[in-house]
Amino acid sequence: MLDTSSKMNPKDSAAFISSVAVDVKINSNGIKKVASEIARAIQTKEFKPTNMMLHSYPLPASEDASSIDWLFVADSLNFSFWSLQEDSHYSVELHGVKYTGYMALCAAITKALEAGLPITSPKYYSNISLEEVNKIFLSSTGEPIPLLEERCRILHECGRILDEKFEGSFLNCLKQSNRSAQKLVDLIVTNFPSFRDEAVIENQTVSLYKRAQILVADIWGLFKGKGFGSFDDIDTITMFADYRVPQSLVYFGALEYSEKLTKVLAMNHEFKNGDREEVEIRGCSIHAVELIREELGSHAINFNTETTFTLNSAMIDYFLWEFRRRFARELSSIPYHKVRCIYY
């Protein structure tokens, strides 16, 4: 019988998934290797966790309410940028710079705003046409963004919900969280169905909440943990389980795939959202990052800034995600799981 009575949070879900996984295993030596590499990168200032991704976003990074609505749109559409061919990713050019993947989506949003299109206004995007969505997010190759129709549907749905429940701004949803990251995640997944990233394994409902958690982390990162970005429990959120971070974890040996799964991945197999292999990869990735965080220690690390942060799972996620981007060529031989869905 399916157990839906006690849906676990992402951290507990990941521990459970790891305990029942068949084709994905966590290697403790690999966990230590990642922790050592992060510690080295911090020591040499190669890695500066306080930047938290946003330093390289093509985002008008003003620390005000307008950025809250910008981030909400970006993370509502933050999914499915992969291509079967490594050299043909979704891309957008802005100010002479070519961005790929999620950064390309961010560039498209900024480009639309600069052209006078109020793409971050719920009243605008709740009624936006499919043709306009295609025009705004068209790839520089001339091809539509993946899952174009789904993105249009999500814009309509999210815009309508913001108008009906939150007076037309995600800021009002944020204010209801009372500085709790967990409360905000709950508000997001309760009110916005497209963020409800859940699965079933061994008859147990588990939650992964990639986009909901990254939205919280983005707000925290942009505002440097102050003002609108002040959360008393930010260190309780997990990493953001996608298809790229596991690549880095496999590279370091923190994750190991069975021979069967490795062969399937090498064939460019496209999984369905909810397939056991997909859930195992994502869940074990989350748990691996929790173990990396424990290995690094929960003590505060001074990053030579005005603020002393605790190295949390969001920061570790950023390191691994950025590592994959920086060493894309070296990691290109490691196959990653491909799922065409709205959750990541």
**193-224 residue pLDDT tens:** 999 999 999 999 999 999 999 999 999 988 88
Question: C-alpha distances in angstroms, 138 versus 13, 90, 135, 142?
Answer: 36, 9, 5, 6
Question: C-alpha distances in angstroms, 311 versus 48, 50, 130, 235, 302?
Answer: 11, 10, 42, 8, 10
* Residue ranges covered by each domain of the chain: 10-339
Confidence at residue 311, expressed as pLDDT on a 0 to 100 scale: 86
Structure tokens at 130: 């499919």
Confidence at residue 308, expressed as pLDDT on a 0 to 100 scale: 57
CA distance 201 to 16: 9
pLDDT digit string (tens) for 290-324? Answer: 999 999 984 455 555 555 567 899 999 999 998 99
**Residue entry with tokens 């790839």:** 139
CA distance 263 to 7: 32
pLDDT digit string (tens) for 148-201? Answer: 999 999 999 999 999 999 999 999 999 999 999 999 999 999 999 999 999 999
Summary mean pLDDT of the chain = 91
**Where does the pLDDT of residue 240 fall: very low under 50, low under 70, confident under 90, or very high at 90 and above?**
very high
Confidence at residue 336, expressed as pLDDT on a 0 to 100 scale: 94
Confidence at residue 309, expressed as pLDDT on a 0 to 100 scale: 61
Please check the confidence at residue 80 and state whether its pLDDT lies above 60. yes
Confidence at residue 65, expressed as pLDDT on a 0 to 100 scale: 85
pLDDT digit string (tens) for 108-143? Answer: 999 999 999 999 999 999 999 999 999 999 999 899
CB 341 within 8 A of CB 282: no
Q: Who wins on pLDDT, 329 or 277? A: 277
Q: Select which of 163, 242, 275, 317 is catalytic.
A: 242
Backbone dihedral angles phi then psi of residue 298, each to the nearest 5 degrees = -90, 5
Confidence at residue 86, expressed as pLDDT on a 0 to 100 scale: 66
Question: What is the percent of the chain where pLDDT is above 70?
Answer: 90
Structure tokens at 96: 């002479």
CA distance 101 to 78: 9
Confidence at residue 58, expressed as pLDDT on a 0 to 100 scale: 74
Question: C-alpha distances in angstroms, 152 versus 127, 140, 145, 223, 344?
Answer: 9, 19, 11, 29, 16
C-alpha 262: how far from chain center: 24
Confidence at residue 130, expressed as pLDDT on a 0 to 100 scale: 98
What's the maximum distance between 2 C-alpha atoms anywhere in the chain?
A: 56
Lowest-pLDDT range of 49-53, 64-68, 186-190, 204-208: 49-53
Please check the confidence at residue 5 and state whether its pLDDT lies above 70. no
Mean pLDDT throughout 36-58? 77
Confidence at residue 83, expressed as pLDDT on a 0 to 100 scale: 85
Buried b / exposed e over 301-336, threshold 16 CB at 10 Å, is eebeeeeebebbbbbbbbbbbbbbeeeeeebeebbb
CA distance 175 to 184: 9
Confidence at residue 310, expressed as pLDDT on a 0 to 100 scale: 74
**Where does the pLDDT of residue 1 fall: very low under 50, low under 70, confident under 90, or very high at 90 and above?**
very low
Confidence at residue 52, expressed as pLDDT on a 0 to 100 scale: 58
Q: Is 23 a catalytic residue?
A: no
Confidence at residue 90, expressed as pLDDT on a 0 to 100 scale: 93
Q: Who wins on pLDDT, 63 or 66? A: 66
Confidence at residue 301, expressed as pLDDT on a 0 to 100 scale: 57
pTM: 0.92
Residues 6+ apart with CB under 8 A from 326: none
CB 283 within 8 A of CB 8: no
Mean pLDDT throughout 2-11? 73
Mean pLDDT throughout 3-9? 69
